[in-house]
Structure 1
Amino acid sequence: MAKTKTIPYDSAEYLDTPEAIAAYLGDALASGNATEFQDALNVVARARGMSEIAKASGLGRENLYNALRSDAHPRFDTIQRVVSALGVKLTVQPAP
């Protein structure tokens, strides 16, 4: 019997348009789970290139990696800078 060959799935490979990035981050934010949103920011930053996002956000590359670790607690200012560097924006609307 032949073995099935699998390859790891990486969401970052599919985040190639601003619309896909916005939808991905929007779904993570809608979950209400801060860690899930932070992990989504990490995936999107990897998709766009950590060096590019670090430069655009004014953060050091190592600081960006540290801020987006799932066990980190980044300041809101850091989140805002990363979101802006990604070319998307956070919005607020009334809850249903």
Structure 2
Amino acid sequence: MTAPNPLKRWDAADHLENSEDMVLYLNACIDDDPGDGSLIRAALNDIARARNMSQLATEAGLTRAGLYKALSPEGKPGFDTMLRITRALGMNLHFDQ
């Protein structure tokens, strides 16, 4: 019998314990995004998984499968979808100059 592997793959979703953590994480990803939205999309995926993907999908007016697809590495969610997701997370989008 082999011993269980004590190493677990690191997952940001395991460390997003409250809304403040989620906002700080998303803002850091926005600052570091390469310009194609991939890091922002990945952060929203992590946040969605830290919350409840099914409940978030319902609140955003999406199917669970649609939310997974939109936030997947291959996903190309439209701006309206991103707004629906962030609003369902209780976040607001702001622009500064």
Identity of aligned residues (%): 35
Query: What letter is aligned with 1:28?
Result: C
**Matched positions, count:** 91
Consecutive unaligned residues of structure 2, counting only runs of 5 or more, are none
Corresponding residue to 2:64 among 61, 81, 94? 61
Cα distance in 1, alignment partners of residues 88 and 7 from structure 2 = 34
Residues 16-95 of structure 1: matches in 2 within 5 Å? 16-33=17-34, 34-94=37-97
Give, as a single letter, the amino acid of the residue that structure 2 aligns with 1:16.
Answer: E
Shift of 1:5: 3.5
Q: With the length of structure 1 as denominator, give the TM-score of the two structures.
A: 0.88
**CA distance, structure 2, for counterparts of residue 66 and residue 40 of structure 1:** 14
Structure 1: 5+ residue runs without aligned partners?
A: none
State the superposition RMSD in angstroms: 1.3
Q: TM-score, normalised by structure 2?
A: 0.87
Alpha-carbon distance in 2 for matches of 1:17, 1:65: 21
Post-superposition, which runs of at least 4 consecutive aligned residues in structure 1 deviate over 4 A? none
